[in-house]
Copies of this chain bind each other. A is one copy, B any other.
């Protein structure tokens, strides 16, 4: 499982993400100071999405890859500290046990 955080993402970067998201998700980006990216196997990303969603101040979206086999990527939008907390929460659960859910 891999994690990245982009602070103040550029317009072009958000554009690349927008092309890979469902149309109705685009509004989640507006007013987001940061975007967190988590990439992993599909079954674990469903769990990771659920953990992040249950954290406060963030929205979680599914980013369609280019046919990435078992891997999918989710994007977590929100203000920088909320995105960092949501990702911290996933990492903390990962360290506790092997399964996120």
Residue in B4, B39, B49 whose CB lies within 8 Å of A16: B49
Q: Which residues of B contact A50 (CB under 8 A)?
A: 6, 9-10, 12-13
A46 interface residue per 8 A CB criterion: yes
Number of interface residues of A (CB under 8 A): 44
Give complex CA distance A5, B71 in Å.
19
Indicate how many identical chains form the complex.
6
Give complex CA distance A63, B67 in Å.
13
| B4 touching A60, Cβ below 8 Å | no
Residue in B39, B44, B63, B69 whose CB lies within 8 Å of A68: B69
A2 interface residue per 8 A CB criterion: yes
A92 interface residue per 8 A CB criterion: no
Residues of A within 8 A of B (CB): 2, 4-6, 9-13, 16-17, 19, 22, 37, 39, 41-44, 46-47, 49-50, 53-54, 59-74, 99-101
